[in-house]
Structure 1
Amino acid sequence: MSQSTTSGTKAVKAAVLLIFALLLFAPFLFQDVRALEVAARVCVFIVLVASYDLLIGYTGIVSFAHTMFFGFGAYGAAISLKQMGPGWDAVVVGALAGMGVSLIVAVAIGLLSLRVKAIFFAMITLATASVALVLASQLSDFTGGEDGITYRAPALFKTATKLMLDENGKVLRIFGVKVNGKLAAYYFVFFSCLALFVVMLRMVGSPLGTVLKAIRENEARAEAIGYRVVSYRTFVFCIAALVASLAGTIYAIWLKYTGPDTALSFAIMIDILLMVVIGGMGTMWGAVIGATMLVLAQYYLRDLMGAAAKATVDIPILPHVLDPDRWLFWLGIIFILLVYFFPKGIAGTVMAKGAPR
């Protein structure tokens, strides 16, 4: 590894550590409800994108069913909390149910489909995810249909509990921030997602990660030297499904609402693909950078364009070009530029810059 490659890796890791530090202190640095929503979404999508990168980046598996497993976890928690009430027993039951369904479906897809060529496997996963979305919309007695399910989270995440009150009965404050259920829910999301990310990071750094890369680079050669390729591909597909399911459960507890649009929408799958490409395939660090950048762009690009349009109101044409309603157009332009200047994603390109050929 060259010195420039080492410095590039250090720069990427420093950026990731900075992102996690900002997420850790987000409730104190950005004291508004919207910022906390954005930070929680970033945490969940870091896990979701990293788990998908296990498939597409490390093993070379193209799947369009990742949101389906995310939805299983979310609906598992939602149905359980709705039926059993807002207790931790309901959370555990819902998480286990979501993971159980995800594992069964992942094993079935893996064993039946991973022997086929990549494009056919991708189409099978797309069809399976479409069936899950239709079932969620049609089985309204269980899933709430198009309206989804609303429910209460465990008592710890209520607006204020006795543990969060001082001797005068007032809500405790730390650096001016109320210690309430919203804060507790955010740190539940943050530390749960951090733990899942660290597990995946250790996984790709283990000998398993080396085998997955070997399968990605040359499947026939990996099988020739003795690795059971289908078994490894099925295993990593199941691991990714379980992690996505847990991410869905975490997000469901945070939102206190689960519906087709928030858990099973194909738009979420598109977001995951964009995040992987922006951050860089085959690197866990890229998942952090890609998820953070796209979520921030989705929430704040429109506001920035509105401010820019007001600042250039006296310049011909420019205010119309920067109209906030055109934010998707500019998001597309930004994505094209990122792909052009960072062909391996931001993390992948920076880490590979100057590497010996």
Structure 2
Amino acid sequence: MPRPVLALTSGEPAGIGPELTVMLAAEGVAGVDLVAVGDPDLLAERAERLGLAVEIVPLALDEPLPAPRPGRLPVWPVALRAPAPPGLLQVANADYVLETLDVAVRACLAGRAAGMVTAPLHKGVILEAGHAGFTGHTEYLRDACGVEEVVMMLATDRPLHATREGWRGPGALRVALATTHLPLREVADAISAEGLLRVLRILDADLQRWFGLLAPRIAVCGLNPHAGEGGHLGREELEVIEPALAALRAEGLRLDGPLPADTLFTPRHLEGVDAVLAMYHDQGLPVLKYAGFGSAANITLGLPLVRTSVDHGTALDLAGSGRADPGSLRVAVALAAEMAGRDPIKQR
């Protein structure tokens, strides 16, 4: 099979993204042609700071890639707007971060890359720079690709449940979100039958397309404690969630729920489940990150391209120290390569 080309955006320049990028380049990634998107001088400086022998190779988007080897990092250049010392945020660099995303999207849509992997950005800096309404990678990529709906999903291959006899339970845990970056008081109003229909159709289709799961089984959380307790603790389950699930079951989707979130993440309920749909960000993601923090990846479903990301933030306190762990970035790159390999039109 051809090697997939993956565009790796180096993220917030004052954070750990640039050094994770050069760490990965130094060790090499088997079976993948990795191209960084960022400032070549910044990446060279971080490599030197960490004592890593990394050859930075700036390239135009239409230039052929050099032969891959550990220690060689092709870069599609984007210039910093201001110096970016480790740990010191610069509002002027917000547009730099967004431009790296735009370059990666263009490379994917033009067929130059099979997918994109994103290092973490800092939302506060982007908002302070005047990009009102910015809520994160997921929504920005939705708009950049011109699609109506995307689904945020995190995945880890770490099993959730441990006993004295060792790890047991499902080998992979995937948690998707019905709503993403919203204040908690806005969540209930944001959940609608129409929205759930769109999200679950995307989740079902992309589990098949990108993960090779035929007729995936999806467990759906309720919104309220005890999934509403038959209407005594809220009526969203009865009036919104259950009718949406019934309509989708009639289309052939395999759906369980709505189930109480406090008991769904147990061996009995997760057995045979391919993904869980949580109603809001902190309903499902704390469980997944407890199970596999540092070995999980964020996936955006519903895009016309492959996009994965790390499961952590910019870690400004670690930037430039060499103590950042590239484990999640390794997982994100490996998962993006696997997903791209399932779609022949995305191959180099």
TM-score, with length taken from structure 2: 0.22
Higher helix residue share:
1
Bigger Rg over Cα: 1
